[in-house]
Structure 1
Amino acid sequence: MDFKDETTLSRRTFVKGSLAGLALAGAAGSAALYGCAPAEEKQQSGGDAPVEETDQIVWGQCFVNCGSNCALRYHVRDGKILYLETDNTGDPENTQMRACLRGRSRRRWINSPDRLTHPMKRTGKRGEDKFEQISWDEAIETISSELKRIIDTYGNEAIFIAPGSGVSGSIVQSAHQRLFNMLGGCVTRYGDYSTGCIQGVMPYMFGKKFSPYDNVHASSMTEALNSDLVIMFGNSPAETRMGGGNIVFDYTKVKENGARIIHIDPRMNETCSGTLDEWIPIRTGTDAALVSAIAHELIANDQIDLDFLHTYCVGYDEETMPESAKGQNKSYYDYIMGTGYDMIEKTPEWAAPITQIPADRIRTLASDIAGAKALFVAQGWGPQRHSNGESATRAICMIPLLTGQIGLPGTNTGQREAEVGSIAGSPTIGGIPSGDNPVTVKIPNYEWVEVIDRGEKMTATNAGIRGADKLSTGFKFVWGFAGNSFTNQHGDINHGHDILADESKCEFIVMTETVLTDSAKYADILLPDVMAAEQFTIGTNGYTEWYRGVRVGGPAQEAPGECRKAYDVQADIADKFGIKDQFTEGRSSEDWVEFLYKQTADKNSDMPSWEEILEQGVWKQEVEPVIGLKDFRDDPVKNALETPSGKIEIYSEELAEIADTWELDEGDVISPIPIFDPGREGYGAVTDEYPLYCSGFHHKARAHSSFGFIDVLKQAARNQMWMNPADAESRGIENGDLCSVKSPRGEIRIEAKVTSRIVPGTVSIPQGAWHDADMYGDRIDHGGCSNTLTMSHPTPLAKATPAHSCIVQVAKA
């Protein structure tokens, strides 16, 4: 079924009085607070009485990395955005990609007095926030000459595009890579901050085609409608995927349908508190210990599906072990039952002090799992963002494997729910073609700051370098675009500052931004970007559950000052190198939008024509739900996985070889089977100086750090550290107190939220708050950014972020 907007792109009559219902209830009593109808217009209209006004309606989209990419409808008058609403096309009960409060506040970002409006160059130290305005001619000339100098001096492996997702889903992201490829290439990255451990380790279990962003290795959340028991490990879509284009709506249907839902999480998260059957509090980072004890109970009580394990899996017991590991007690069964590896039987009594879950409750949970007719297990991406995340993500998948609850109606593979609309037939518009990259070297996403510091020492076996045995140089030229990962979104900000501030290491930094983020303070040249609402753009669905679609529209208003589109800036630099015609192919950014849409529509007959999409602005198409690994379950020979055995590999010979051949730091563990490894600053790491564990969570007021400076959002959802009353009372801390939180790496100031909704012994700090410290002074972060506290040391295999493994002390400030 297709959905079209019955209104035109340019004009419609709109009754403003109907806007009152668009803002969520309780938001200070005013829809205008979040960017909807302005209060002054309501007063002019005589209170709530509707007044007909003729406005231009311009389709837009919320291009940030929350996953939803929800639709926005800008109401424009006299060339300015007056207010905005969200998607009102299709069936309001099922098929509207309606924006959350963040998306509805976007007008406050677009028209913020903090917008960058002129190109600038640094005049002080990096990170010191001292700049002076320059002309675009000087900016382009400086960037081009520095780029040429660095390529000539160090080669193209010294060039890097830093991670950034502030325009997630927009075509302009690929323009930078296109330019650098034409100039000889640059080092690229694999993995990402969100799913680094999953991407790094799950292909060894489910095969090389595995992706955390697909609809093959996981089931739709709607499939849980056919389940009688749903278990969520650290999975809170109400906080992480709350837009109308995402799965939180389908999750609520599951609850209404009668499935029993159990949340296993250090916090009673927002999803759990809204639809609670049961919350099982767990010490952060110990999910694999809980799973091991559940596995013990299932095995001891003969409640496993042995036929499934012998048919579809490698490594469960001696019978299914590969020849290279037979007769050595290396199976998963041996690990659980205490006959191999550490020779410790993984009983509930063993797991209880580790997890803080009573042994009897673990037994009851195992019994519930064994008795489920259709078991749906889904983990969020938080459990794998620990220093032991590579073992944790595989361990959680063992529950459906042991019970044979994979590939059947109402089941899931243990991974996060599928992103149905983003793969498999989706009209993925993509970006401007980047062409071939002559540089084949890739680095782990999380290691890019370390490459600046010690690139020449990083190898395939000590740092996960791909495409070469070692790096030839560190990064000397870095371009950051729409990202706050220089400091704010990267572990150990103080360590990162020391590297970035040293101009002998990275010799030139360019940042393209809309406002002065903490990362932008490290730019040598700072460029003011044009926002999506200020240009003609195209976007597709995000991590969607129920639809695939396209949105075309803009601009809603002119960009302020001297802001310029990133594509035009790249074209000017290409011109300095004599390749502008090759770079643009004679197309403006607007021309690329039309070209890319038509190219995709030619392959998707269901899509509207170019003229039709211009008229209607948005197109959506429902997609069918999926069952993870159904084809493999139906025929494991015909649909063999891309593992060496073609089966699900509980024991991986490849991982065993990596563990034997890689250079690992003391305390780093790579295991061929899913085990419980405490990890760095995990269970058992607390000290008298740092007696509390600290984990993070995604915050409703931000998408990572995007929207982090919007005052009304900060008021609606305060940046607070969650702390159990038992931990607070012993420190004389009350709800709302300003606290000092210290880790071995830094110190922050943050308000306390004293609540029994978090397990004792662990505090939890929302990620993404804007770092605010005098980096040439005491370095105390008054912004409450969790990455001031976290470590930079990566996980052993994927070399990914360990952001949720951290030990701290908390005191009243």
Structure 2
Amino acid sequence: MTDKDKTLSGISRRHFVKASSALAATPLFINRSAFAANPQTSPGTVSSAPEERVVPTCSTFDCGGKCDIRAHVADGVVTRITTRPDNELDEEMPIMRACVRGRGYRKFVYHPDRLKYPMKRVGKRGEGKFERISWDEATTLIADNLKRITEKYGPSSRYVHVGTAVSGGTFSGDAMVRRLLNLTGGHLQYYHSVSMGNTAAATPYTYGAAASGSSLDTLADTKLVILWGHNTTETIFGHSNHYFQQMKQNGTRFIVVDPRYSDTASSLADEWIPLRPSTDNALMDAMMYVIVTENLHDKAFIERHTLGFDENSMPEGVPENESLMAYLTGAKDGIAKTPEWAEPITHVPAQTIRQLARDYATTKPAALIQGWGPQRHNCGERTARGSTLLATLTGNVGVKGGWAAGYGGIGNRKFTTGPEMPDNPVKEKISVMNWVQAADDASKVTPQDGLTGAEKLSNNIRILFSHAGNYLANQNPDINKTIGVLQDESKIEFIVATDLYLTPSAKYADLLLPETSFMERWNIGETWGTGNYLVLSDKLVEPPFEARTDYNWLREVAAKLGVEAEFSLGRDEKQWIEHIWEATRLSMPDENLPTFAELQIQRRHLFKSKPYVAFEDNIRDPDNHPFATPSGKIEIFSKRLYDMHHPEIPALSHYVPAHEGPEDALAAKYPLQLITWKGKNRANSTQYANPWLQEVQIQKLWINPLDAEKRGIAQGDTVKIHNDRGISLVPAEVTQRILPGVVAMQAGAWWQPDANGVDHGGCANVLSSSRITALAKGNSHQTMLVEVAKA
């Protein structure tokens, strides 16, 4: 062993092994009461190490909680993770205690399989064969390939992919590589959010703006909450579970609409209503039919604030029988959208539909909160708008205790500003769902397919950066199709990937760089939704082996491109964080943010702003605050959608059978609908490699006993899930917690193909479709038909 191997740049091998081996003796959960008395002392122990410090921090993965975790640091090593003690609880704020993911971070950071050195590919792309190189060689390779490819193809051939393991803070590697590319000619941008892009694109056709969430403290007196595909107990979504549990204790009734009896249904639901995936709009249509035919709609609200409810409130230039009332009563097609009509489509009993509609319409106020799963179908835009119509009919928009649309961030505040981004000279933009097409054949990406800013793409993607993003060959739909493009080196000529581990996506890199964890860099974490706080996530320990932050090595690349001064502005990583914080503080004088020096002492800043209700001003004073729609009103009927003349984008958001839904002819061959859920033990695929968290939730396929019996499948059997796109093998979980005709498994498992391409990891994306949605050009990961057999 050389001296260089013994003590590498960063934490020494001795320290890393010491930290890793100590995990076996460290309990996952800590007695909080022992820590409460003295937060500077290790929980349940007598401090014998006076040099130990306990640092409140948070992760900067793309996770909505930003839980308050306490890192115990001694001798340059994080020795344990605890969480917020009882003596620091604040009744006006969420508890913010770490979930199982937060408590398991140490095992993830100190894992022997972490990438240690920069490496370049030596085998075929995807084989995962690499050789170690120096950082100077690595940054030279990047700079040389950027110069070569830009000179040959132009800057629009450069692309930065989704990077969810670095994008959860205000300062991220993917943002800084975009900054570098913009300073050297630009890059092909993408738009859209894989998480909730269909909702963001659809709801402006109702409200004129993307429906933003209210603050959850406005629901304190809400009598009824309908969680429509919203699994907050497992996803730890912006600490909403904190508020929901308080509401549950205070008597709020919860109804969960979901094909799966999720942990949220188990912990909150007074009633569980399972329905077939992609038939949400049929259930919504039937609910609206009951509401209007039983005279339960809010007539005064509808008359004052809406367009398109009946024939008397339609925009000009539209023929008869296009209003909501005409659709529901069957004036145009002869089919009344009754609960009996919806029952065979949704598999929800007619009487259940009728009672759900009555409960929602007669309970004042009530909140129908739709999660992000239902809008990840190829009918997701219609589902997202459908919830806005229900909220409108019942007068639950813009009122305290109601809810306008799907779950999202608060619309009245933007916290941290992020690093300044130079203008991008490349004006073409693609949907995040178009990148495989753009790499395969740029001529396939047209405005009809999602291209904006140009009539055609000028270049294929030739160089790609993937910063801690396992989307490339794991989270991307239809993996087998995707890897065919990735393996062809005549298409994308150079792929740079950074990560903590050799993920399935990292195997397709030409240059693979060891990433730092959030414990080894500076950042600021902010919550999604209504957490209302900012947390300093500072550098606690040195990076292990030769791992470096993205910004650190990007400065070297910038120097080799001759733009280091413009790129860095003379700031190191901490100075960038200070700059971003101070810029945010000056832009938000009413929030009384501390100075950066003060933040380093108090560690976090809590916002105790007044409750916020989405669209409250528009409803309270419509004359002075009209909706940003063409009519200035809530548009139940959208003339803009009507003029598109697209059968999948109705002007009224109503039921249209989905591609690969239960009414598709393909169901004769593949009769089961496969859906996925976001589990408690990882954020997307991040932390999949954490063995502690693999024990928390084992990858299995949920299948109803009726479906299992037909196929001779017993509990624990290995089953083959298959369709025309791929095959995955996984153990069966035979359970009544899933609707017959539907199967489910957790999203984010790593793809593990054998020599024949059969996945042994339970990765749903060998089965998912790359079909894009009609309006948003967004993703439809959730809409897939499969068959299941005993392996």
CA distance in 2, matches of 1:517, 1:46: 34
Provide the residue aligned with 1:41 in structure 2: none
CA distance in 1, matches of 2:464, 2:697: 34
Distance 1:349 1:455, change over 3 A: same
Instruction: Give the counterpart of 2:376 among 362, 372, 385.
Output: 385
- Confirm or deny that 1:309 pairs with 2:302: yes
Contact 2:536 2:600 in 1 (8 A): no
3-state SS of paired residue (2:373): coil
Distance 1:781 1:490, change over 3 A: same
Provide the residue aligned with 1:226 in structure 2: 221
- Confirm or deny that 1:720 pairs with 2:708: no
Distance 1:751 1:624, change over 3 A: farther
> Identity of paired residues, percent?
37
How far the C-alpha of 1:512 sits from its partner, in A, is 1.2
How far the C-alpha of 1:413 sits from its partner, in A, is 1.1
3-state SS of paired residue (1:378): strand
- Taking only aligned residues, the RMSD between alpha carbons, in angstroms, comes to 2.2
Provide the residue aligned with 2:536 in structure 1: 551
Provide the residue aligned with 1:236 in structure 2: 231
Provide the residue aligned with 1:321 in structure 2: 314
Map Cα deviations across residues 311-362 of structure 1 (whole Å, 9 max, x no partner): 211222211211121x33222222211122x442211111001100111221
Provide the residue aligned with 1:683 in structure 2: 662
Contact 1:296 1:346 in 2 (8 A): yes
Distance 1:259 1:31, change over 3 A: farther
Distance 1:230 1:30, change over 3 A: farther
Provide the residue aligned with 1:182 in structure 2: 183
Structure 1 residue runs of 5 or longer lacking an equivalent are: 1-27, 38-44, 212-216, 661-667
Map Cα deviations across residues 283-315 of structure 1 (whole Å, 9 max, x no partner): 111110001011111122222223322321122
Provide the residue aligned with 2:560 in structure 1: 576
Provide the residue aligned with 1:711 in structure 2: 691
Instruction: Give the counterpart of 1:349 among 318, 335, 340.
Output: 340
Contact 2:203 2:388 in 1 (8 A): no
Instruction: Give the counterpart of 2:511 among 525, 528, 549.
Output: 525
Tell me the TM-score normalised to structure 1 length: 0.89
Matching residue's letter, 1:486: L
- Confirm or deny that 1:250 pairs with 2:238: no
3-state SS of paired residue (2:644): helix
Matching residue's letter, 2:429: K
Provide the residue aligned with 1:129 in structure 2: 128
How far the C-alpha of 1:754 sits from its partner, in A, is 1.3
Any residues of structure 2 matched to 1:2-13 within 5 Å, and which?
A: none
Distance 1:35 1:595, change over 3 A: farther
Stretch deviating more after TM superposition (610-619 or 470-479):
610-619
Provide the residue aligned with 1:369 in structure 2: 360
3-state SS of paired residue (1:811): strand
How far the C-alpha of 1:792 sits from its partner, in A, is 0.8
Contact 2:497 2:511 in 1 (8 A): yes
Map Cα deviations across residues 701-737 of structure 1 (whole Å, 9 max, x no partner): 1100011111111111111211111111222222222
Contact 2:58 2:535 in 1 (8 A): no
CA distance in 1, matches of 2:738, 2:542: 46
Provide the residue aligned with 1:3 in structure 2: none
Instruction: Give the counterpart of 1:698 among 678, 697, 704.
Output: 678
Contact 1:192 1:446 in 2 (8 A): no
3-state SS of paired residue (1:410): coil
CA distance in 2, matches of 1:30, 1:625: 45
Tell me the TM-score normalised to structure 2 length: 0.92
- Confirm or deny that 1:424 pairs with 2:421: no
Provide the residue aligned with 1:75 in structure 2: 72
Distance 1:716 1:526, change over 3 A: same
Provide the residue aligned with 1:358 in structure 2: 349
Provide the residue aligned with 2:431 in structure 1: 444
3-state SS of paired residue (1:808): strand
3-state SS of paired residue (1:562): coil
Contact 1:719 1:769 in 2 (8 A): yes
Distance 1:393 1:109, change over 3 A: same
Matching residue's letter, 2:423: D
Any residues of structure 2 matched to 1:478-489 within 5 Å, and which?
A: 478-489=464-475
CA distance in 2, matches of 1:90, 1:723: 43
Map Cα deviations across residues 507-528 of structure 1 (whole Å, 9 max, x no partner): 1111011111111111111111
CA distance in 2, matches of 1:696, 1:787: 10
Map Cα deviations across residues 198-238 of structure 1 (whole Å, 9 max, x no partner): 1221112111x325xxxxx4323333322222111111110
Distance 1:30 1:484, change over 3 A: same
How far the C-alpha of 1:546 sits from its partner, in A, is 4.2
How far the C-alpha of 1:51 sits from its partner, in A, is 4.5
Distance 1:434 1:35, change over 3 A: farther
- Confirm or deny that 1:263 pairs with 2:242: no
Provide the residue aligned with 1:22 in structure 2: none
How far the C-alpha of 1:57 sits from its partner, in A, is 2.7
Provide the residue aligned with 2:649 in structure 1: 670
Matching residue's letter, 1:745: R
Any residues of structure 2 matched to 1:781-796 within 5 Å, and which?
A: 781-796=759-774
How far the C-alpha of 1:125 sits from its partner, in A, is 1.6
- Confirm or deny that 1:457 pairs with 2:436: no
- Confirm or deny that 1:621 pairs with 2:621: no
Distance 1:429 1:218, change over 3 A: closer
Map Cα deviations across residues 429-448 of structure 1 (whole Å, 9 max, x no partner): 23221211111221111221
Provide the residue aligned with 1:273 in structure 2: 266
CA distance in 1, matches of 2:30, 2:719: 32
Structure 2 residue runs of 5 or longer lacking an equivalent are: 1-22, 33-40
CA distance in 2, matches of 1:638, 1:601: 30
How far the C-alpha of 1:36 sits from its partner, in A, is 9.8
Contact 2:57 2:535 in 1 (8 A): no
Map Cα deviations across residues 411-434 of structure 1 (whole Å, 9 max, x no partner): 111322x534xx5345x2232212
How far the C-alpha of 1:794 sits from its partner, in A, is 1.0
3-state SS of paired residue (2:474): coil
Provide the residue aligned with 2:709 in structure 1: 729
Provide the residue aligned with 2:6 in structure 1: none
